[in-house]
Structure 1
């Protein structure tokens, strides 16, 4: 089950063109495209004539034309015309609320009347020139909640990412988790440690020494339906750690937009936003490459974990203190799904 009344990232802005793009979100097949004004549109991927996917058709002006028999569907889902046929009484196709923000295309799979722009998450790096952002997209064969578990418990970095961001101090540092409204927060701080390879690279990118002790922080925030933003960084030890002045640290926000495709597959839009040297493209590309390698390691683990859980469906999983962030996140998801199901049918 998935939260329905929420904004999910469906695609990057570059993916959506005048050529129809098929994507499945929360088990709903949909087609995304741009109209004659360049505005993003989304419809269920179903032609009411014979059930062919509209994504196999083409865009003509503001309409999408079914590639099977030429039925034209307007962007609001109304059948417009069809060669030699009267379509006045044809059923409408479901129009899915969609918009473009922060370099992404967002869709709202639930009740259209509840979809408001105010419900979008705030992306400060999309609002000005004092941030830089770079990222990518993975399709992963796992339950989207496994990725939330992964991101809300960074203890795995010591083992899965031993050559990039992992270090033994992650295991040793105390972790604290809490809930603030519909947000689950897990945080960990490490003092006077060595910077792992990825953060050595980030320090050099900010013209800072990479061979001195640092203070390191990880602050993970889950917000529904399935977004995880993580404040991460290092500062030269003795300058205040997380609160250190900008000239002594390299910090950023790991951006994780996790979109369920089906019950066992997901789209993972990942990236990193930073405020140091935002106009410099070299660190943006270096960080993106480093992140891509790190998340590829996660992908392999998560897909094998999903396969193992399917093979052992009756096995009970343990919950430790390090799992608290993921557990709290799942409770928020379950509560919101239950609340949606209890809403009287209109």
Structure 2
């Protein structure tokens, strides 16, 4: 593992020794768990005996720790967020899994990575190199599910944890917090559920700019569809009339479903239980109409963000 980390990070890696520790038989699952909606949704889809490992970054990330501690995970504390090691790759998020690998003897590992920024490219085949070095097989349970799908799961599996999870994400003014709150209101309205959240809980003074952040833009269509033009216009700037027209002609049910392409390389032996659990939360594979709408939204967003890069 040390050799692979050294190659991956292009660094001279020093370790505390070279003692060889015999590996144990591998079984079960390990989830890199932050307590946010995505990792909570992954937990709901995974077997009940799944091991959890969480990273305590300290500082203003303490709100995450205060929530995930309720799940009694194995906690790794680190100052890595204050170092340059986080600047060039998301891979620093795997340190908890690497350190917990031998302790848990897990066979499969899952990140809470959803279908969002990777909308144009399904995950590559095989296991991420650092996870593979730790003797685990990658099995990301929510990789084909949108943020809408994760909210659907939370509202049905963990409604009592809704507020605590939202509060652990970020400060109420943060873009991510606003997006999650708006989306939760939209999904709850769509499902006809009463939840411990209201429009008054969204306190950001400046609207989010449509076209600036891919994750925000992706779910804006759903918010516009199910909360209406007035609510969307209050919280998003830059919405053009053709965006409203596009949404009116769509069902957007693909956001409430899962994209089977993103599970093409998921461990085959785990697929039946994944699909069964997804169905209990109302998530099903794409229909032909879902594929049509997914493709149109994807192409519009990619074109929009390509234009902004050119500008």
Q: Taking structure 1 as the reference length, what is the TM-score of the superposition?
A: 0.25
More helix as a share of residues: 2
Larger Rg: 1
More strand as a share of residues: 1
Q: Taking structure 2 as the reference length, what is the TM-score of the superposition?
A: 0.27
